[in-house]
Structure 1
């Protein structure tokens, strides 16, 4: 296993531990921090291990951060449904 995949695995462990801890803001601050750290790790994994592993890490990250992803899709649908000015 190369260093990029090990870092992605460590990110997944940290994300799951962060999800288990109580939070007053429903974990949004932690989710944003995980996104900011996770995007460069995803690029690094894709660059060093290839696109297949990049897609695997992307799917794992999307499963951990599913609610921010759901809210993003809902927001994009609302924006697409708005009439053009």
Structure 2
């Protein structure tokens, strides 16, 4: 197992631990930190293991951090739709 995949496993454990420890609204601070750690980690996994494993890492992070992904999707839909609808 490569270093990047080991770090990805550590990221998953850190995410699980932080969501258990951080209650309610404070979990968003943990999510911001996990995003900041996860973005370069996806690049590292992709460089070291290939695009397939990079997409797997991105999918794992998207499943764990589902609410930021949902909010980003909603925001993108609003931007594409325009401001004609409230």
TM-score in same-fold range (> 0.5): yes
Partner of 1:34 in structure 2? 34
Higher-helix-fraction structure: 2
1:51-66 matches, cutoff 5 A: 51-66=51-66
| Cα deviation, residue 2, structure 1 | 0.6
Which stretch shifts more, 21-30 or 32-41?
Answer: 21-30
Structure 1, gaps ≥5 residues long: none
Structure 1, residues 4-27: CA drift from partner, whole Å, max 9, x if none?
110011001100111112325251
1:1-85 matches, cutoff 5 A: 1-83=1-83
How many residues are treated as equivalent by the alignment?
Answer: 84
Contact 2:45 2:53 in 1 (8 A): yes
Q: Find the aligned partners of 1:73 and 1:18 in 2 and give their Cα distance.
A: 24
TM-score of the aligned structures, taking structure 2 as reference length:
0.89
Structure 2, gaps ≥5 residues long: none
**Please, what is the CA RMSD of the aligned residues?**
1.5
**Higher relative contact order (CA closer than 8 Å, sequence separation 6+):** 1
